């Protein structure tokens, strides 16, 4: 329990600063006149580095232990925030892109480490769903708080001092982790081979496919299209956008943390449930897209977005909790770092594609309601592909049960 609390604390601090940094960069650069497509481009290296990090981080964790990957992630985020603070008055696109890439590496090193630790620390298999739901849900709650914190810090401290404050908080988490976590957890007795990174069993490959398109469906409209639409079309202030997105992610994280009881996942957490939870996400996405595409009375836009986002958040929370539980259930303890790394490589790939679609669709459709509708239609395509992946997983589990 002590180790679980230390890992959770480090993950919380990192997540809070990561959400704040994303909102800081997004709002600060939009204020300076960058377009939606350019903003999407700034985050592409962040997501691409996440893909490559997850591919290799599982091997590193299995070879050297999870403590090494956890402190590496925290250290890289300290470096990224420190450089942005140092160059606050001379920011260039190249520098911001490079630091976003560094932050992407840091995030996925930290995430893979924390999730793998939970698999090793959960005292009983039946408690795994509750522990991972609590960790993931609380992480997303703090990520939402980070969005709000980013907007608040930008308005009060300015870009430089905000980054310095985050670097100091991360340094505290790093010191606590280095001082108290055991070194050897997650380390394999025999050194893993590189080819084992691609040798995930069929269940993990199919679950990873579903995860890729699930998270692509979220970021296809949430990453760039939604915040830019709120500023440009609804004329919300930066602080209001940060607060709104923060409240949504906080609520989503709360539902996710409570998912085993609140959504009834403790009674049925399997591939069949995953198919249903994924397919039903099409309802709020297509409903909002149709509303925006048909140019319904603009007075209904903000209330409809709030209601649609709320429903999407509840359903997405159920999906994410199921995913996080299933990947750990399918992973053997000795190989958990490598399997979780492979799985979150798919997760990062989905965010990469979703971010690209979000900026591209919004700009090509001309922005405004049409731009956000285009992002939502792209999200629906991702959801269809995710549902198909979940169905393939269900067929595999059914065939295995009959055999």
Distances (CA, A) of 284 to 214, 309, 318: 14, 8, 15
Comparing 87-101, 158-172, 283-297, which segment has the lowest mean pLDDT? 87-101
**What is the reported pLDDT for 234?**
83
Q: What is the mean pLDDT of residues 198-212?
A: 82
Most confident range, picked from 46-50, 95-99, 163-167, 259-263: 163-167
Residue 132 · residue 11 · CB < 8 Å: no
**What is the reported pLDDT for 213?**
94
Confidence grade of residue 281 (pLDDT, cut at 50, 70, 90): very high
Is 296 inside any structural domain?
Answer: yes
**Is residue 165 classed as helix, strand or coil in its secondary structure?**
helix
The pLDDT > 70 percentage for the chain reads 74
Run of H or E including 324: helix 301-330
Range of the domain at 289: 2-187+197-402
Is 255 inside any structural domain?
Answer: yes
Is 257 inside any structural domain?
Answer: yes
Q: Which of 215, 217, 196, 205 is nearest to 326 (CA)?
A: 205
Is 291 inside any structural domain?
Answer: yes
Mean pLDDT, the chain, integer: 78
Is 164 inside any structural domain?
Answer: yes
> Is 127 a residue whose pLDDT tops 70?
no
Q: Which token pair is 264?
A: 């009834």
Confidence grade of residue 283 (pLDDT, cut at 50, 70, 90): very high
Is 192 inside any structural domain?
Answer: no
> Is 343 a residue whose pLDDT tops 60?
yes
The pLDDT > 90 percentage for the chain reads 10
> Is 376 a residue whose pLDDT tops 90?
yes
Q: What is the mean pLDDT of residues 111-119?
A: 72
Domain CATH code at residue 43? 1.20.1250.20
**What is the reported pLDDT for 72?**
84
> Is 163 a residue whose pLDDT tops 80?
yes
Is 369 inside any structural domain?
Answer: yes
> Is 334 a residue whose pLDDT tops 60?
no
Is 351 inside any structural domain?
Answer: yes
> Is 403 a residue whose pLDDT tops 80?
no
What's the number of domains the chain is made of? 1
Residue 182 · residue 7 · CB < 8 Å: no
Confidence grade of residue 260 (pLDDT, cut at 50, 70, 90): low
Rg over alpha carbons for the chain, rounded to the nearest Å, is 20
């Amino acid at each position: 329990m002590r180790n679980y609390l230390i890992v959770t604390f480090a993950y919380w601090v990192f997540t809070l600063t990561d959400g704040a940094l994303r909102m800081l960069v997004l709002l600060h650069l939009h204020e300076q006149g960058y377009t939606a497509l350019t903003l999407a481009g700034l985050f592409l290296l962040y997501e691409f580095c996440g893909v490559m990090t997850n591919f290799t981080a599982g091997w590193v964790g299995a070879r050297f232990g999870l403590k090494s990957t956890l402190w590496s992630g925290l250290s890289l985020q300290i470096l990224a925030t420190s450089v942005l603070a140092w160059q606050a008055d001379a920011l260039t696109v190249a520098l911001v892109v490079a630091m976003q890439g560094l932050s992407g590496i840091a995030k996925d090193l930290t995430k893979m480490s924390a999730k793998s630790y939970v698999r090793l620390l959960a005292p009983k298999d039946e408690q795994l769903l509750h522990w991972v739901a609590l960790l993931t849900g609380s992480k997303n709650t703090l990520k939402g708080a980070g969005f709000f914190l980013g907007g608040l810090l930008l308005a009060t401290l300015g870009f430089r001092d905000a980054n310095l404050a985050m670097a100091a908080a991360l340094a505290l988490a790093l010191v606590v982790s280095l001082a108290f976590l055991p070194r050897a957890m997650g380390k394999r007795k025999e050194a893993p081979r590189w080819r084992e990174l691609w040798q995930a069993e069929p269940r993990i490959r199919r679950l990873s496919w579903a995860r890729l398109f699930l998270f692509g469906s979220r970021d296809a409209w949430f990453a760039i299209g939604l915040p830019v639409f709120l500023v440009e079309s609804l004329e919300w202030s930066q602080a209001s956008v940060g607060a709104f997105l923060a409240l949504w992610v906080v609520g989503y994280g709360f539902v996710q943390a409570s998912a085993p009881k609140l959504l009834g996942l403790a009674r049925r957490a399997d591939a069949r449930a995953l198919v249903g939870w994924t397919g039903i996400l099409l309802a709020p996405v297509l409903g909002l897209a149709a509303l925006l595409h048909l140019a319904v009375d603009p007075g209904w836009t903000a209330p409809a977005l709030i209601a649609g986002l709320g429903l999407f958040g509840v359903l997405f929370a159920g999906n994410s909790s199921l995913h996080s539980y299933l990947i750990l259930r399918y992973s053997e303890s000795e190989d958990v770092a490598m399997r979780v790394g492979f799985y979150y490589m798919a997760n990062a790939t989905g965010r990469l594609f979703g971010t690209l679609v979000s900026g591209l669709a919004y700009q090509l459709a001309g922005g405004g309601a049409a731009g956000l509708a285009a992002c939502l239609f792209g999200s629906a395509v991702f959801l269809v592909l995710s549902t198909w992946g979940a169905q393939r997983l269900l067929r595999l589990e059914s065939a295995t049960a009959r055999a």
